[in-house]
């Protein structure tokens, strides 16, 4: 039987229910476990962590909205992730981690062989937490790193912290999606991020919704999209003080880039089907790039 999913939201879980969940984890019959906003005892949380540690099928673990509510639970989760080898996406949105909690969790995140998507939105992080996260964005392909990162609603991070993240994003060899919505970034940080996007070879989606941007930021981002070849395909600027005209200009330029890549992809496919088709200029190179992310690793569960 193929691994399935267990998704429960906002319920108080009994000991019997926890036993059933843990048995399914140990039997490797669960690919997605979501206990979003549920209430469970300290003892039962420990049981779930031990079940996750033993599971070889668990790919997505959603503990959003306060499940990881204290340092003891952070420690238990960290121990589970040190043993687990299958989790690809970890959702901790709305957990009061703070920098201290992330410091306990970070060693397990850093050595996990499969983790590629991480949601630490609304986790009360500050600059020290951002410094730790930067270590999960390696600058080369020598080791695995995050492809999708969510840091929404962490107002304790200062411009210094966001600047450090921008540098890491610029040099990351793998990051494709970055969600920074509902942080008080402002135009200064947006300028740093524009430079990071222009330097990145992989970033395809950047969410800056509700981040205190103005037309100044939008003009900088427009110049970046217009003048630099980037991988960016989606830029979210809703709920900012930006004129609709500037937003439309940016959207149009991103759409043009996507259409050009689709045309190139069709040409590459045609040449692969017909090996007799060649280019007149032998020094030219055709690069096949995919637009969009397909099934997003962070899209399977709600926050």
The DSSP-derived string for 196-264 is HHHH-SS--EEE-TTS--BHHHHHHHHHHHHHS-----EEE-TTSB--HHHHHHHHHHHHHHHHHHHHH
Cα 72 to Cα 83: distance, rounded to the nearest angstrom: 17
Confidence (pLDDT) at 96: 97
Q: Does residue 114 sit in helix, strand or coil?
A: coil
1-115: in CATH 3.80.10.10: yes
Confidence (pLDDT) at 103: 98
Confidence (pLDDT) at 144: 81
Confidence (pLDDT) at 290: 31
Confidence (pLDDT) at 300: 47
Range(s) for CATH 3.80.10.10 in the chain?
Answer: 1-115, 125-261
Q: What is the pTM of this model?
A: 0.86
Fold of the domain spanning 125-261 = 3.80.10
Segments of the chain scoring below 70 in pLDDT: 1-2, 141-142, 257-303
């Amino acid at each position: 039987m193929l691994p399935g999913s267990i998704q429960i939201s906002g319920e108080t879980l009994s000991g019997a229910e926890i036993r059933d969940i843990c048995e399914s984890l140990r039997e490797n019959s669960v690919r997605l476990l979501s206990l979003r906003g549920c209430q469970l005892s300290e003892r039962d949380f420990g049981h779930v962590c031990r079940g996750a540690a033993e599971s070889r099928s668990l790919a997505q673990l959603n503990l959003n909205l306060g499940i990881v509510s204290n340092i003891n639970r952070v420690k238990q989760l960290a121990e589970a992730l040190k043993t687990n080898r299958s989790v690809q996406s970890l959702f901790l949105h709305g957990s009061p981690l703070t920098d201290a909690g992330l410091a306990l969790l970070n060693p397990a995140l850093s050595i996990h062989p499969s983790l590629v998507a991480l949601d630490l939105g609304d986790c009360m992080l500050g600059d020290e937490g951002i410094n730790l996260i930067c270590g999960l964005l390696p600058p080369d392909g020598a080791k695995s790193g995050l492809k999708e990162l969510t840091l929404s609603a962490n107002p304790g991070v200062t411009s210094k912290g966001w600047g450090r993240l921008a540098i890491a994003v610029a040099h990351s060899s793998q990051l494709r999606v970055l969600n920074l919505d509902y942080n008080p970034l402002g135009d200064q940080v947006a300028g740093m991020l524009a430079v990071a996007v222009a330097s990145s070879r992989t970033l395809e989606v950047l969410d800056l919704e509700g981040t205190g941007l103005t037309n100044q930021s939008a003009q900088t981002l427009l110049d970046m999209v217009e003048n630099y070849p980037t991988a960016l395909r989606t830029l979210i600027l809703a709920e900012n003080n930006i004129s609709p005209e500037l937003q439309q200009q940016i959207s149009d330029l991103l759409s043009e880039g996507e259409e050009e890549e689709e045309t190139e992809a069709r040409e590459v496919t045609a040449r692969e089907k017909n090996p007799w088709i060649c280019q007149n200029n032998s020094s030219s190179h055709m690069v096949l790039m995919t637009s969009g992310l397909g099934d997003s690793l962070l899209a399977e569960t709600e926050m």
